[in-house]
Structure formats: structure tokens, C-alpha cells
Structure 1
Amino acid sequence: MDDAQMEVIMPLIMFGGEAKSSAIEAINAAKTGDFEKADERIKAANEAIVNAHHGQTELLTKAANGEEVPLSIYMVHAQDHLMTGIAFVDLAKEIIELYRVIKTN
């Protein structure tokens, strides 16, 4: 694994984790009725996912162009972080909407 690959992989890990953390913060804000903060944290989570996708797109483009993209435990870990972040954000959006219904009734 060379430095160029790690420069792509590490942001995937970082931004995937950031998305998950922001989604959890959004749920906690909604739980207390602070929907403005919940929306702001979901926006931050979505931005983290977009940033992570830039690195993933770079890797996919290389592979599509016939370049070798070696598989490593770091790559697997990075993809796991990204997918977990995406799942948390999707579920957080649904949970926040449920809290909106509960808090307004």
C-alpha cells in the first residue's frame, strides 16, 4: 500500500465516521425537540458522505480505467466506515421525522 492510496483511503474512514457521528448528534437533538440543530447535523452528515464519495469515485474511476486498485484491510475498513455512515444517516432522517410527529402531537 503506497502513500497515494492511503491518501484516498484515510478520508473515507474519516468522513464515514464523521457522517455517523453527525447523524447520532442529529438524533439526540431531535430527541430533545431541537429540530433546527437536528437538521444542521444531518446537513453536516450529508456533506461528510459527499466528501467521502469523492475518494470512492476516484478509486472506482481508476479501476474502470484498468488501473490496479489493490484490496487491503484498510480499504475494507474504509468501505465499512462509509457504508455504516450512509446507513446511519438514512436511519437518522427517519428517526428525526418520527420525533417531529411525536413532538407535534
Structure 2
Amino acid sequence: MGLIINGGNAKSDAMEAIQAAKTGDFALAEQKLEESDKALVEAHHSQTSMLTQEASGEDMKVTLLLVHSQDHLMNAITFRDMASEVVDVYKKMAGVTVD
């Protein structure tokens, strides 16, 4: 469940970053991108824990929930990357220097 919860939080934070940038609140947009990154780190910890268990010989059943959680994480990562680009576009449109 850590993958699903943290993946969902990461995606939501990334979406909030885009919404903040859309209104010109670039400080909030950057804050939300950072929060998204933190949620992704937590999701990766969950994923690493499962991978470590399987690598240690513990049998891991491939369930619909496991597949869904991995899908959720991958979508969150992709969305986070895209959100960063969208925030940069809004910054450029506003005349703000992009790193």
C-alpha cells in the first residue's frame, strides 16, 4: 500500500505544482515539486523493501494489487517529470529565468 499511497501523493503534489505555476505562484509550484519528490522517495523505499524480500528468497506473489501499485508508481514518476517541464514553461511565459 505504500507504493499506492505515496505514488498517489506524488502525482497529486505534481498536479498542484502545475496549478500553482498556472496562477504565477512559482514558489508554491517549487514547494509542491519538492513534496512530490519526497513522496516518490517514500514510494521507492516501499518498492526497495519488496525487492529486497524477494532477493532474499522470500516468495512474492504477483497479485493485481502489486501490479496496480507498480503502475501507480510509474505513472507518478512520469507525471512528476512532466510537471517540472510544465512549471518551467509557465515560468518562461512569465519571464522568469529557468534553471
* TM-score (structure 2 length as normaliser): 0.93
Amino acid at match of 1:17: G
Per-residue CA distance 1:62-100 (angstroms, 9 max, x = gap): 122222111100001111111111111000001111111
In 1, Cα distance between equivalents of 2:72 and 2:36: 13
Q: Which runs of 4+ in 1 moved over 3 A?
A: none
Aligned length: 96
Aligned to 2:48: 57
Identity among equivalent pairs (%): 47
Whether 1:102 and 2:93 are equivalent positions in the alignment is yes
Whether 1:33 and 2:24 are equivalent positions in the alignment is yes
Whether 1:81 and 2:72 are equivalent positions in the alignment is yes
CA RMSD of aligned residues (A): 1.0
Aligned to 1:69: 60
Q: Which runs of 5+ in 1 are unaligned?
A: 1-9
In 1, Cα distance between equivalents of 2:22 and 2:94: 9
Task: Give the SS at the match of 1:61.
Answer: helix
Aligned to 2:83: 92
Q: Which runs of 5+ in 2 are unaligned?
A: none
